[in-house]
A and B are shown apart, each in its own frame.
Chain A
């Protein structure tokens, strides 16, 4: 268990309040601090201004596609994965090289995926 002092910061774009708050609760146990955004606009601001190590982006955020956040992260060279539920539709071809984790993903699986992203 990480004490949080050297936690890596993960940006989470998620519009389910229940899920977002549970992730914020759970991920510190795996050594990650969590920045949350539930709207694309806020996500773009965080992606542009915060010290972020990795990100997980739900493709559909409150009826919008998350790509503006992805673009900002890509510009800064910050690694990220998309998250997608059943029926979310295909990823834009411009982002085909990024991985997609399927919802409902578990915490352990997500933590492992984040570790992989940070090793690269």
Chain B
């Protein structure tokens, strides 16, 4: 796929998102953030020539804004694993949505709350799969949303579509949990 097409993805998403925003279907700030987020991941992937990338690197670029002043609001633990560009794009957008939600309503909306993100490679039925678990702690009591927003649908519908992922998103009262598992070979080709 020619490099220029990758730039077109950002332009195209920006154009469609802008229309949604004008139709007042979406919060202006969130739509803008999602586009900037996509562009950031594109630039991270460009730095590895759109090859495989270390998952930790993708995640840490997301978490950086929450790790200021020597505090670790997002605790990470996981294997060293390289993922395909399509997986990096899909995961970074999903994690971005989880982070945004956590900082508005969840564990990151309070001074003492924190998030644990753990991942490992699991072998199942001859395929290597990545299993990533997100769990929020110490935040306010969670009430399940009455209606799933675009961010939640991106995770629960977008990831199965794009990465053949199995996803559980649980609004448990003590904190949101999300597990995402997908075959590492699923994102066969570039996005």
Residues of A within 8 A of B (CB): 15-26, 29, 36-38, 60, 62-64, 85-88, 103-108
Contact = CB atoms under 8 A, between A and B. Distances in A.
Contacts, number: 99
Interface residues of B, number: 36
Interface stretch (B4-12, B108-116, B176-184): B4-12
A23 B20 CA distance: 9
Interface string B62-98: 0000000000000000000000001001100100000
B125 interface: no
22 contacts: A16-B9, A16-B12, A18-B13, A18-B154, A19-B12, A21-B157, A24-B157, A25-B25, A25-B26, A25-B150, A26-B19, A62-B191, A63-B1, A85-B8, A85-B12, A86-B4, A86-B5, A87-B4, A87-B5, A103-B12, A104-B8, A107-B16
B143 to A, nearest CB: 24
Interface of B: 1-2, 4-5, 8-9, 11-13, 15-17, 19-20, 23, 25-26, 34, 38, 86, 89-90, 93, 150, 153-154, 157-159, 161-162, 187-191
